[in-house]
A and B are shown apart, each in its own frame.
Chain A
């Protein structure tokens, strides 16, 4: 069995969207290397409650890196130091005894803080609502194998479709841009024949919505790709731009 570690935590507290936020600090002495980062926060919250204090709120659900609920900014990095993992899958073996860890919520005007580390990401829903779908009604689909799709295209579409909607891209982008999230959906549907008919309409509506929500412009920092827990490439943004230009000239 591994020996317990001491970890010094500093985390963001904020009562509501308009309240003044501040940092709170606490040292944990029983952190185990097999714990996930969120399990360590569970331990923190158990200790806080036993001391009669309010726990720190953070979003989570599946804890296996697929639901996209968790989205902490850990020591200035969305989802923490490890590449291609969500922070629910970040294990404490990545830290050492005595480490200091600062935890902040993703910060963006389009993601207002609800409480502590919990933010409102409904802007993402509205971007999908604007056009992130194929308009096929239930029951009207043709035989699944009637349209062959080149395996390479289908695989590439999957790579883009794998976005978990966590918002790390926005959190890490110096401009708080949602281009990777939006581009990923556009690229996913754009790679498939099913998405072809609405290609132009989709890209224009989604790109407009992204601006409407108050996300910043993309400056090609590619930080979004670096923090993406499923490793979506900024090539998605290139696909989005290409589709947009085609839409302008169509």
Chain B
């Protein structure tokens, strides 16, 4: 099967506008006759629900949280990129495009990335109009700061809570539509199955998380805006409820899953302190603007960091990458942190941490300036770690943060299943093998506010108006029965090990073998371990409580079951990709200095996997979408 990305013809700069010109439209009076299901209420889902309802479509919006406002986009700290060029430092749409595609190590589609850079400016306009309180200068105009992977300042921010403010903007816009009747709103509902009739996505099966009821919803199109799968690692910066279930169940119904091995490990997180740890806390990358990363030059130097003189400190990022210094992209920063710790230079109780030091910045700009910029992050660190970052360096270590892989979509954000769309982190489309900081918010909102509302009409225009099969159609029956059967199965096992225990063990296998650095031997070993643990899960897991009631552990059990399958696919994908690119570092393919070696000849493709069942082993068929680079020249990435 040949995968068609549906990339429009024409010069890069005009592809999106030409496509918009050529796309079919649904007339305003007909829009209310089309129903669209949107699963997830983060930036991508919330923005899409609001925008589509404003256009006149009937939207049904679902989220697992008790309110749409709690989607995990809320936790994004640093900012959102846009090439407004307000600081007059030479930025342009082209440069944002170029930085993003280079940052992704040339493993994303040119056309998608260019469109992203192009609509980014509109996002800022939209957010400001909604009342998002971005940081401003004394002139009353918007302020920008710089972020990793770019040599211009193009990041708009709202202190360390940019995601929160942007999400609340989208949420409020959506709630306005709830009141006006354009959006029907289902909080505390989890999608368990996609219903496909005659080859097209026609609805979903959900579980009402309060009553436990299995509910059927029919529509003309289904959008999955359900976020990433970082929680397969158990410990990640994701929220505890973030999961792959919606995307994975769609995958099991035929939607291809692309590039699952591309997982971003964020360089600046608070290190792990013990077994009970339930999640990792990220310290915004913006801290690297002013903080200096270092480790002691001497192994086992257990002096207090403030007592180690400058000449005995190894500022490894500044020394190895003089032109980007502490602002190298995330993958480079994470890998180097791992390298110095592997060399035994790590600090803290576990030796798995490096210092992020603000001493010099405080000296240069004063305590007040630093506090105004990072106050809430410093307080957060102080509270969690019990150490004051104004007085001594922070200890940080990389942690899983974002997943570039996701459901395969074409230029219109539609999966290979007609009528099934995926947006935001749930799709694979814009970040290649590595995402630059402040680009996730950009992509989520670009998909939600501007791209999907345009492209979904193109699909719906060909769909018969008001076509309904009825939720008693045999496909609905079948999907609902499948969802119910899995729940019954999980509750009936009554084994000896808890869900958290399984999840933690799975997470450790994934982190140790499909983490910052991978190699064929470990990956093969991981596949075997995952399969064995999965077998045990299905025979020995203990799921408490009942199905017809609020039961969080039952929810988790279903999600962990999906992580078990995804984990195996990640290993397969990582094994297949015999090169190093972006966040995917194969130890076999690196230079002597530990720099990644990409293989454009053989691996310049999107790996899209087709589910073929699990029987002890996960069966998946690989489809390749070749990446064509017409406008940029492929270079070995260098931040030296």
CB of A91 within 8 Å of the partner chain: yes
Are A125 and B187 also in contact (CB < 8 A) when A46-B498, A188-B131 are?
A: yes
CB of B1 within 8 Å of the partner chain: no
- Chain B 86-102 near chain A by CB (<8 Å), digits 1 or 0: 10000000000000000
Q: Are B140 and A149 in contact (CB under 8 A)?
A: yes
CB of A57 within 8 Å of the partner chain: yes
CB of B320 within 8 Å of the partner chain: no
Question: Chain B residues near A39 (CB, 8 Å)?
Answer: 276-278
CB of A99 within 8 Å of the partner chain: no
CB-based nearest A residue for B272? A34
Question: Chain B residues near A89 (CB, 8 Å)?
Answer: 380, 383-384
Q: Are B84 and A144 in contact (CB under 8 A)?
A: yes
Are A122 and B66 also in contact (CB < 8 A) when A46-B498, A114-B550 are?
A: yes
CB-based nearest A residue for B128? A144
- Chain B 539-579 near chain A by CB (<8 Å), digits 1 or 0: 00010110001111100000000000000000000000000
Are A138 and B67 also in contact (CB < 8 A) when A125-B175, A195-B131 are?
A: no
CB of A3 within 8 Å of the partner chain: no
| Set B131, B139, B278: member contacting A36, Cβ < 8 A | B278
CB of A134 within 8 Å of the partner chain: yes
CB within 8 Å of A: which of B161-220? Answer: 161, 164-165, 168, 171-173, 175-176, 178-179, 185, 187, 210
| Set B161, B175, B187, B453: member contacting A66, Cβ < 8 A | B161
Question: Chain A residues near B130 (CB, 8 Å)?
Answer: 133-134, 136, 141, 194
CB of A59 within 8 Å of the partner chain: yes
CB of A161 within 8 Å of the partner chain: yes
Q: Are B175 and A133 in contact (CB under 8 A)?
A: yes
Question: Chain B residues near A219 (CB, 8 Å)?
Answer: none
Q: Tell me how far the C-beta of B260 lies from the nearest C-beta in chain A, rounded to whole angstroms.
A: 24
- Chain B 256-291 near chain A by CB (<8 Å), digits 1 or 0: 000000000000000001101111011000000000
C-alpha gap A67/B552 in the complex (Å): 17
Q: Are B66 and A59 in contact (CB under 8 A)?
A: yes
| Set B74, B136, B553: member contacting A62, Cβ < 8 A | B74
Q: Are B500 and A46 in contact (CB under 8 A)?
A: yes
CB of B159 within 8 Å of the partner chain: yes
| Interface segment, one of A102-110, A150-158, A171-179, A235-243 | A150-158
C-alpha gap A136/B176 in the complex (Å): 10
Q: Are A143 and B125 in contact (CB under 8 A)?
A: yes
C-alpha gap A113/B454 in the complex (Å): 41
Q: Are B47 and A63 in contact (CB under 8 A)?
A: no
C-alpha gap A144/B449 in the complex (Å): 16
Q: Are A68 and B69 in contact (CB under 8 A)?
A: yes
Q: Are B68 and A125 in contact (CB under 8 A)?
A: yes
| Interface segment, one of A48-56, A73-81, A210-218, A220-228 | A48-56
CB of A129 within 8 Å of the partner chain: yes
Q: Are A137 and B241 in contact (CB under 8 A)?
A: no
C-alpha gap A59/B551 in the complex (Å): 11
Q: Are B47 and A69 in contact (CB under 8 A)?
A: no
Question: Chain B residues near A133 (CB, 8 Å)?
Answer: 130-131, 172-173, 175-176
Question: Chain A residues near B75 (CB, 8 Å)?
Answer: 62, 64, 66-67
Are A158 and B133 also in contact (CB < 8 A) when A38-B278, A115-B550 are?
A: yes
Question: Chain B residues near A63 (CB, 8 Å)?
Answer: 239-240, 278-279, 281
Question: Chain B residues near A69 (CB, 8 Å)?
Answer: 65-66, 70
Question: Chain B residues near A16 (CB, 8 Å)?
Answer: 549
CB of B72 within 8 Å of the partner chain: yes
C-alpha gap A118/B544 in the complex (Å): 17
Q: Are B545 and A91 in contact (CB under 8 A)?
A: no
Question: Chain A residues near B165 (CB, 8 Å)?
Answer: 158, 161
Q: Are B133 and A161 in contact (CB under 8 A)?
A: yes
Q: Tell me how far the C-beta of B87 lies from the nearest C-beta in chain A, rounded to whole angstroms.
A: 12
Are A138 and B74 also in contact (CB < 8 A) when A57-B550, A63-B239, A89-B384 are?
A: no
What are 5 A-B pairs with beta-carbon distances under 8 A? A45-B553, A115-B550, A135-B176, A142-B129, A188-B131
10 smallest beta-carbon distances between A and B, as pairs:
A148-B140, A141-B129, A133-B172, A138-B51, A158-B133, A141-B125, A115-B550, A61-B239, A144-B128, A62-B239
